[in-house]
């Protein structure tokens, strides 16, 4: 087993914050399945011990190369967020494969995390090859998608699978947050919320501020103090927290769901 020394990182908080779906506990650590990879990681204090993935790739995936100090410092100007950085020490935003991330969040609409996990595991079983997540273009059977318990989302998955290409995902890298979001929203089953999740979790465009029912609740409780539309909360969040708004969002979301 290989190892990495980390600082300000919690594998548990990171994995359990609802960003990623195909992971499970194994021995004293976690089995993570993502894209073409299946690997094992465990954390002993500041040391990560792992196998099945290259060190560089794991560091990128877990967000270990981010300037976390700077992110924490900037967001801690807000007292609530400063407190959450202490309470949920080491929660980071990962960098996922765009395709799997997109499919996961299309499944997420009006659903819940255990069910999304089930959908993705079934999709991997039914369309992937030996435990590997299916490639772009391989979700080409509407009936089989329905067998993955995707329900009304099966059609979105089927259509998006036909439109998306490797180049489509590649070009979003070089685009601004706003432009990339416009492109993603063109896909069937992708609105503002899902586009924001993909931009945040797969492209690390930290301005993205996804607002679901939990975020609506926590923002109304802590900041707005009154009923506010999702659209206004999203604008408020980006304006209030600035270039790292998505990070603030992830702490607020995880905290509100846990407590």
Partner DNA sequence: GTCCAGGGGTATC
Partner DNA sequence: GATACCCATGGA
Binding site for DNA (CB under 7 A): 17-19, 105, 108-116, 118, 146, 149, 151-152, 156, 185, 187-195, 197, 210, 212-215, 229, 249-250, 253, 257
- Beta carbon nearer to DNA, 50 or 219: 219
Do 193 and 221 form a contact (C-beta atoms < 8 A)?
no
**Segments of 35-119 assigned E as strands:** 37-44, 47-51
- Residue 14 CB, shortest distance to DNA, in Å, is 11
Which residue, 98 or 210, is less far from DNA as judged by CB? 210
Residue that the structure tokens 């900037």 belong to? 74
Q: Using the minimum distance from each CB to DNA, give the nearer residue, 172 or 187.
A: 187
Nearer to DNA, 115 or 132 (CB): 115
The half-sphere exposure of 89 on its side-chain side, counting CA atoms within 13 A, is 6
Nearer to DNA, 90 or 188 (CB): 188
Strand extents, DSSP E, 87-208 = none
Residue in this structure with the two tokens 């040391």, named with its chain if needed: 47
Q: How many residues are recorded in the chain? A: 259
Q: What minimum distance in Å lies between the beta carbon of 70 and DNA?
A: 21
| Shortest distance, position 140 Cβ to DNA, whole Å | 19
Q: How far is the CB of 44 from DNA (least distance, A)?
A: 26
Min CB(3)–DNA separation in Å: 28
CB 233, min distance to DNA, A? 12
Distances (CA, A) of 189 to 119, 157, 161, 182: 16, 8, 11, 13
Question: Could you give the CA distance from residue 34 to residue 31 in angstroms, rounded to a whole number?
Answer: 10
End-to-end CA distance of the chain: 35
Strands annotated E in 45-146: 47-51
DSSP code at position 243: G
Our CB check for DNA shows the closer of 45 and 114 to be: 114
């Amino acid at each position: 087993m290989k190892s990495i020394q980390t600082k300000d990182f919690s594998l548990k908080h990171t994995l359990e914050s609802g960003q990623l779906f195909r992971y499970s506990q194994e021995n004293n650590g976690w089995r993570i399945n993502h894209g073409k990879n299946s690997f094992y990681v465990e954390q002993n204090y500041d040391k990560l011990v792992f196998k099945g993935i290259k060190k560089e790739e794991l560091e990128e995936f877990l967000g270990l190369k981010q300037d976390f100090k700077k992110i924490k410092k900037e967001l801690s100007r807000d007292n609530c967020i400063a407190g959450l950085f202490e309470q949920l020490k080491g929660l980071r935003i990962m960098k996922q494969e765009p395709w799997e991330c997109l499919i996961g969040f299309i499944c997420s609409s009006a659903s819940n995390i255990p069910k999304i996990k089930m959908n993705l595991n079934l999709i991997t079983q039914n369309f992937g090859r030996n435990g590997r997540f299916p490639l772009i273009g391989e979700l080409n059977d509407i009936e089989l998608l329905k067998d993955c318990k995707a329900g009304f989302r099966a059609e979105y998955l089927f259509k998006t699978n036909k439109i998306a290409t490797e180049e489509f995902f590649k070009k979003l890298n070089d685009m601004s947050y706003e432009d990339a979001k416009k492109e993603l929203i063109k896909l069937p089953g992708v609105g503002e919320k899902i586009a924001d999740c993909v931009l945040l979790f797969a492209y690390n465009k930290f301005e993205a501020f996804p607002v679901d029912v939990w975020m609506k609740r926590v923002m109304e409780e802590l900041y707005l103090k009154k009923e506010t539309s999702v659209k206004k909360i999203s604008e408020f969040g980006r304006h209030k927290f600035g270039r790292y708004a998505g990070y603030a969002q992830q702490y607020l979301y995880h905290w509100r769901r846990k407590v």
